[in-house]
Structure formats: C-alpha cells, structure tokens
Chain A
Amino acid sequence: GESVGLHLPTLSVQEGDNSIINCAYSNSASDYFIWYKQESGKGPQFIIDIRSNMDKRQGQRVTVLLNKTVKHLSLQIAATQPGDSAVYFCAERLSGSARQLTFGSGTQLTVLP
C-alpha cells in the first residue's frame, strides 16, 4: 500500500534560521498533500497544503515544495521561532480515495535559543 515517510525523525535549528522538513511519499496517484503541526498535548493543526498540479505554494513564513518526479515533499519555515517547536506531519491523499489521508510518523522540530 501507499506510505508516507519522513527522512529525519528530529531536527534542531537555531532561532532565526530557516528550517526544512522533508517527506517522501510512495504513491504517484496521490493528488493532495498537507503539512500539519502538532504541539505537545494538542491536535494536529493545518499549516499549508498543495495539490498535485502545483510545484510550490507559499504561506506566512512557510513554503511547501512538491517534486512529483521523485515523490518528495518539503516544508520550509523561514526565520524559525521558538513557537515553531513541534512535531510536523506530512500527509497525502490518494486521488479519489474516500479514506482521506495517510500520515507520516512525524518530525520533531526543536528551535534552539
């Protein structure tokens, strides 16, 4: 079956630096991808999404890049702040699937002072 995974389980960055969190997906038929942020004790919070007909999408301080050729997704956070410390999940949805999303296991981002 399809799977979504993350290259690194943990990532530490200095406050003010840019962060890049990577994600690999295995199903080329996936048409929608989402990044979620989960803080300790809270539910996943939507950050940004991208559809398969796009390569890049920008939000406030965040950018998602999609490379369909190598089935790779990344989340870039500009000027990382202490409040960005959390677990970040990527998720993919198989086109036409009613089961919605398949999640990766997450990357723990720690922002160092």
Chain B
Amino acid sequence: EAQVTQNPRYLITVTGKKLTVTCSQNMNHEYMSWYRQDPGLGLRQIYYSMNVEVTDKGDVPEGYKVSRKEKRNFPLILESPSPNQTSLYFCASSLYTSGRWDTQYFGPGTRLTVL
C-alpha cells in the first residue's frame, strides 16, 4: 500500500530534550516536506527536500533540522524542543515529473507536546 508513515504518533517530552520524528514513504517520491498545524494557523511548512541531500527552509524553520540521506526517509529533528513547538506535525511527499509537481500525500500526523 502506498503511504507515508510517521513515528511516533504521539510524544510528550520536556524542554531541551532532543527528539526525532521519523518519516518514511514507499512511493519513490523525490519531494518530501514537513508541516506543523496549529489552531487558526492552518498548515505551515517547516522544511522541504527536493531530493536526496537537498533540503531547504519553509515558512517556519526556526528550531528544527532535517536530513535527507535516503530518498524514502526525511526525519525531523528538534535539537532543543521548547513549549512553542507543541503542535501537530505532518510529513508529506509528492512526485516531481517533467518539471511538474504531482499531488502531495500526507502522513497520519505526530502530536507533540513539549512541557
């Protein structure tokens, strides 16, 4: 089944404790992206990657890191989480063919609480 998976689905942590949220897709998509979703603010892009070893900042990159060592994986790293990073996080991927982007597919989400 074609899908985007995220782990963990729920995480409660404390300020300053490094954490990683994993994202994996099995559709051989070049493009992957991380979003956070907050009430009233919709989905905001954190980082994106157009292919292996190519990453770039989205709208709200502060406090986050990403890596793209393999095509299928795009982990989101919070080196020193703070309470304002409490949010619902979504990973997404899409195909990029002949200069045109295809539909973006989303993972199930990771609910992060930073105390």
Contact = CB atoms under 8 A, between A and B. Distances in A.
Interface of A: 32, 34, 36, 41-46, 49, 89, 91, 93, 98-101, 103-106
24 contacts: A34-B103, A34-B104, A42-B108, A42-B109, A43-B4, A43-B108, A45-B106, A46-B103, A46-B104, A89-B42, A91-B43, A93-B101, A99-B59, A100-B45, A100-B48, A100-B94, A101-B45, A103-B35, A103-B42, A103-B44, A105-B40, A105-B41, A105-B42, A106-B42
A36 B44 CA distance: 15
Contacts of A46: 103-105
* Contact-residue size bin, chain B (C-beta under 8 Å from the other chain): 20 to 34
Contacts of A41: 109
Given A89-B42, A89-B43, A106-B42, A101 B104 contact: yes
Closest 10 CB pairs of A and B: A43-B106, A105-B42, A103-B43, A103-B42, A44-B106, A43-B108, A43-B109, A46-B103, A43-B90, A43-B107
Interface in B12-57: 31, 33, 35, 40-45, 48, 50, 56
Contacts of A104: 42
A44 B101 CA distance: 17
A60 B90 CA distance: 26
Interface of B: 4, 31, 33, 35, 40-45, 48, 50, 56, 58-59, 90, 94, 101, 103-109
Contacts of B44: 103
Contacts of B58: 99
A88 B10 CA distance: 23
A104 B35 CA distance: 13
A31 B42 CA distance: 21
Contact of B101 (A42, A43, A45, A100): A100
B33 A100 contact: yes
